[in-house]
Amino acid sequence: MIYGYARVSTDGQSLDAQRDTLKAAGCDRIFAEKMSGARSDRPALAKALAALGPGDVLMTTKIDRLARSTRDLLNSLHEITTTGAGFRSLGDPWCDTTTPHGKLLTTVLAGFAEFERTLIVARTSEGRARAKARGQHMGRPLKLSPFQRTEALARYDTGKETLSDIARSYGCSHTTIGRLLIARQARQAAGA
């Protein structure tokens, strides 16, 4: 049997074009859902994978409908092939595990993608380490200036204002002020 899987990310998008393409390609049954591909808990995909048996084929219009990352693609392909089924992407002819050439090309390209991802992670880590060595702040910009942080702690120490009152005056969350207190306690504990 040939099963189709169609997915769009948002409610504003339509599944009709994908369904039509999959029907025209000979799909006997189509599983469809409106859900982000970044989520791993996609119910329609789980049902499609559970329906697969030896000799069946799962088909999508494009590979990004099935997986958003190389790791996700490899995991999905592994799950499909363990059942004895194949996978075919209509928009990506190289991704067809129903043929020996397709299996080889899919494996090689997935390997290149994984290698590239490893290089990106390494370069990012090196860049982050260099930035930290230069004293550059990583992450989101700080909500409060150094003066405001010192002032907020001093105001809290008087005991006249709550965290929420202090935070409101700076236009931030009470958890921001709470983190200042925690950081100060950690500095004091390390110095003691």
Does the active-site annotation cover 9?
Answer: yes
Are 90 and 61 in contact by the 8 Å Cβ rule? The answer is yes
Catalytic residue among 9, 69, 169, 173: 9
Secondary structure E strands in the chain: 2-8, 29-34, 57-60, 86-89
SS3 assignment, position 35 = coil
Q: How many Å apart are CA 163 and CA 157, to the nearest integer?
A: 11
| Ramachandran assignment for 26, one of left (phi > 0), alpha (psi -120 to 50 degrees), beta (any other) | left
Count of C-beta atoms within a 10 Å radius of residue 84: 11
The set of catalytic residues is 9
